[in-house]
Structure 1
């Protein structure tokens, strides 16, 4: 009920305003609904996945023109115009995404400006679309033989679809797909490591945002029964982006708040300024720009962010601690290789950068069921070798084999699919999401429900299993007391423990740990030591890079020592400690 109550409240409030307001207010309310649909797509695209687009108005235009052409030239109704408009928009978005989404930095928003301008002028220069004059005399929207010609009647459809869209997007963002979309923005490399196809997720967000804009364009064609290029220009696309930024780019409700604030501010300025100044002109544009700047200064994260703290205090929306998932289904578990064999084999691994040999023809083996330590002074090439194994870097020459498969040359996601999971030297996570959500992301590749099922809230069984697995791993590493806290609020030591829990949620065969004890206090190190020995006893193989010699010497079964990109010693801790080359290169005479 907590999920439905705010949405039902929104729909009831909109319909009540529709019934009680005058015609002009009804018209404004309908426009807010249309703008909110486009802004909702931008919340997913920009606020969640971090892709800035100035061209969403063009997608609304594609759907509006498709609706107008089919309705006027073929006389077909909404059962044809709606799927046709959305399909046309989706195809256009998919093709544009294939070209532009591999761009990063400022190139992506610049490309959206380019195709937004191109589509705007395309609308005005195609004769079939009526040129800049547009298409008029669009037949009214007809449902069950009844023509909806009034703003109040259409307002019921508009706000009903807004409520449905809010429900669907809320469901999506509260699923494995939603976590993947968030991780694309916060830590793409980490996301790829745990099975998220970041390019695919960006494309999903892009097409979904276009579909919501297309739904708005379809409604717009029937509301005005006239379409021309003006409402689909670049300046309108920029205004949609302002709505999301002002409302709160990371919040579903920010789309509606931003659409309402910007629309009402523009209406008020257009009515008030001519009376105040006694003249007409574009003064409202100047004041409108200043008002947006003021709002951005006063609410940097958007109005929704300012309201979120208040909203969480409401009893039906207050966050609750995660409880036991006693009846949760089990996620699939990987078969474990037999102990004693060679699980990971690095053969003559060479990595060259311009003017530098970071790893020089190193060969080593990690046996199933052991803890192997990789040590060496700073700059020895440990992290480079670690990244070669996990796929973050590619070999210059040599091969890496894992569980009988050659994995060198594969992506981090493909290597992770084989059963490797890792932590990072510099912690990578979703800082604004809870510890629980971060650990749930670790089990992403163990989930298989798609986007549509997530939007329709049909992924609950699988989501319950993922949640139960994450809770089990969080309790396993001793973070249950901070389970619902934002991950970014934890001290560095606990963030590193969080990374281990996330890696364990992936059900790995080989666990790669990059300096896991860094930043931990002595009691935390003791708990980590106990956990890693327990994991080894359970048959998990561990490769660990660590600088804390007291910690690593008593933990590992064998050690590999590197210096200047070369392997200088390999063996049990006692042998390594007594090796003169190791003493000179790393441990020092005090050893």
Structure 2
């Protein structure tokens, strides 16, 4: 084995880093923090009606629950209607311990978090693996179950609830009024706003945000996505339980009503109306809907008379109108109306400084050039009665560029998915350096040294190019979600982002490093995917149609990059339809048709292989002779563009 570090990047194109080392709380964020929490700090000393203190406390408690929902639903993509049930667990736990057993409310907090955490792990283990509409339906089911449990247990007072809950004692001061509780409630909200912001701007936070686009890409970068989904669910539940603890000691009496499904739906409304994509959306949504609900309860009977629950109809209509005017939420709509210089800057975990001439993290050792690296032996994949890959066999050697080509539907992408663990093989073997990998999941295969891109680009459009590429460096770090929340990852993050920036400069996209990935052209997005795959430090790089959508100059730059990777000892297996790009660059070509290998060899051998010509063009004239046609070849010819025909062939 030989270790080969990547060559130094020429220092002629220095890349400047952001001037501020702040994470995501920039400009408008700082102003919003100062204005909002300054108002909260002044409120207890202002000559306002006492009810304002109670409303301020309700808003803070709701904001804490909704902040967890933004993390769970807005960032991780898991819709939950059941957060009110976890609020109830926190509230009832402290109520029972402080009234029935005369224990300190602080012990009630710890016990409530423990019970909520264990419950969330048990419920989440069954729930978060669901997808589509099954997940929110499951949250409705367990939310109803817990609500009815609150109303039937004798120790919880059934539907009458528990009264006489003592106040919280803070450093000898009894927080026995809404006015006394207001600032502590909002200090808790501010603390969790900071912790969640730190988490999202970190190595595990990028994976959480990537879950919203589907787990496949995050798994291919080495993340254990079921684990991340579970622990994100638990984090949201713990925040709801803490909110319940505050609610119980603010109200001093509780019953099951505020912890039912209706309240869970209201919390979700708050997150959506405020803006699921923003942490500040939780504050805005909780404030707007709590104030609106209170106003309607007071004024709707005066305006419309006692006509049932008419305020609920008005409440729903206002929510619909708000979403029609600002589909992404009130906070994004507000920020979008601000001058560009006041808008939040791109999210960055740390200032990364000037990009180094070589990555700060060491590269893995690679096999000597020419050593067998990947071996595919009689591999087969069936979907019921359909054979997508039929006893395929080929190999890739270290430092070799190999193309896997064939007509549309030949099974090339399925073969990629078998190699990378996305799909299990029906039979056969796939070995990397002699070790079988065909039974491993995708997150384990990338650890063994196989990186990949996708046929259809899988980037997070709202994340910057730098953040998208840094997802590929996931396996190069070790910081946990807790460590990231308290910013124990500063040095590690600097190294990971430095590596990502180095790879971005390497592929020539340093000028767009801080732009959102969704703003780039398709060709540039494919190059971003290559940089992300390179961050995994692979021995074997799998590229699925990387030249699609690229202009001539970009294809030439890609060819130079692949040539450089080959010189570093990296092997590349590429699926591509651009024959001009393939023929002039590859060392060997493997050709598939209908799931089977029909040819392999050097480009000049493949160019004139009769089986390949039949697969692509049907009947063709080669040096005065006509190759036999087949119905399957006719179908393949219809699906193959003229530009993909090998040179020297006339139809």
Counterpart-to-counterpart distance in 2, 1:33 and 1:129: 25
Q: 2:556 aligns with which of 526, 530, 538?
A: 526
Q: Deviations over 1:110-155 (max 9, x none)?
A: 1111111111110111001111111111111112222111212111
Q: How many angstroms does 1:312 deviate by?
A: 7.8
Distance change >3 Å, CA 244–CA 456, structure 1 → 2: same
In structure 2, the partner of 1:17 is 43
Query: Are 1:545 and 2:580 an aligned pair?
Result: no
TM-score (norm 1): 0.97
Q: 2:476 aligns with which of 446, 460, 465?
A: 446
Q: Following superposition of structure 1 onto structure 2, how do residues 122-271 of structure 1 map, counting pairs within 5 Å?
A: 122-271=149-298
Query: Are 1:281 and 2:308 an aligned pair?
Result: yes
Counterpart-to-counterpart distance in 1, 2:449 and 2:129: 27
Query: Are 1:72 and 2:99 an aligned pair?
Result: yes
Q: How many angstroms does 1:253 deviate by?
A: 0.4
Q: How many angstroms does 1:84 deviate by?
A: 1.1
Task: Report the secondary structure of 1:415's partner residue.
Answer: helix
Assess if the C-alpha contact under 8 Å between 1:8 and 1:163 holds in 2: no
Q: 2:508 aligns with which of 472, 478, 490?
A: 478
Q: Deviations over 1:27-55 (max 9, x none)?
A: 11110000000000000111111111111
Q: Deviations over 1:427-484 (max 9, x none)?
A: 1111111111110101111111001111112211111111111111111111111111
Assess if the C-alpha contact under 8 Å between 2:297 and 2:311 holds in 1: yes
Q: Following superposition of structure 1 onto structure 2, how do residues 330-341 of structure 1 map, counting pairs within 5 Å?
A: 330-341=360-371
In structure 2, the partner of 1:385 is 415
Query: Are 1:309 and 2:309 an aligned pair?
Result: no
Q: Tell me the number of residue pairs that the alignment of Structure 1 and Structure 2 aligns.
A: 591
Counterpart-to-counterpart distance in 2, 1:325 and 1:152: 51
Counterpart-to-counterpart distance in 1, 2:359 and 2:436: 33
RMSD over aligned Cα atoms: 1.9
Counterpart-to-counterpart distance in 1, 2:600 and 2:33: 62
In structure 2, the partner of 1:502 is 532
Counterpart-to-counterpart distance in 1, 2:232 and 2:339: 27
* Runs of 5+ consecutive residues of structure 2 not aligned to the other structure: 1-20, 622-647
Q: How many angstroms does 1:271 deviate by?
A: 2.1
Task: Report the secondary structure of 2:212's partner residue.
Answer: helix
In structure 2, the partner of 1:373 is 403
Task: Report the secondary structure of 1:118's partner residue.
Answer: helix
In structure 2, the partner of 1:399 is 429
Q: Following superposition of structure 1 onto structure 2, how do residues 563-582 of structure 1 map, counting pairs within 5 Å?
A: 563-582=593-612
Counterpart-to-counterpart distance in 2, 1:329 and 1:457: 23
Counterpart-to-counterpart distance in 2, 1:120 and 1:327: 59
Counterpart-to-counterpart distance in 2, 1:113 and 1:366: 50
Assess if the C-alpha contact under 8 Å between 1:328 and 1:465 holds in 2: no
Assess if the C-alpha contact under 8 Å between 1:63 and 1:214 holds in 2: yes
Counterpart-to-counterpart distance in 2, 1:107 and 1:18: 45
Query: Are 1:55 and 2:55 an aligned pair?
Result: no
Q: Following superposition of structure 1 onto structure 2, how do residues 288-303 of structure 1 map, counting pairs within 5 Å?
A: 288-303=315-330
Q: How many angstroms does 1:315 deviate by?
A: 5.3
* Runs of 5+ consecutive residues of structure 1 not aligned to the other structure: none
Task: Report the secondary structure of 1:128's partner residue.
Answer: helix
Q: Deviations over 1:362-390 (max 9, x none)?
A: 11110011111111122222122111111
Counterpart-to-counterpart distance in 2, 1:457 and 1:312: 31
Query: Are 1:272 and 2:314 an aligned pair?
Result: no
Q: 1:468 aligns with which of 498, 512, 537?
A: 498
Counterpart-to-counterpart distance in 1, 2:588 and 2:486: 51
Counterpart-to-counterpart distance in 2, 1:112 and 1:351: 36
In structure 1, the partner of 2:60 is 33
Query: Are 1:343 and 2:373 an aligned pair?
Result: yes
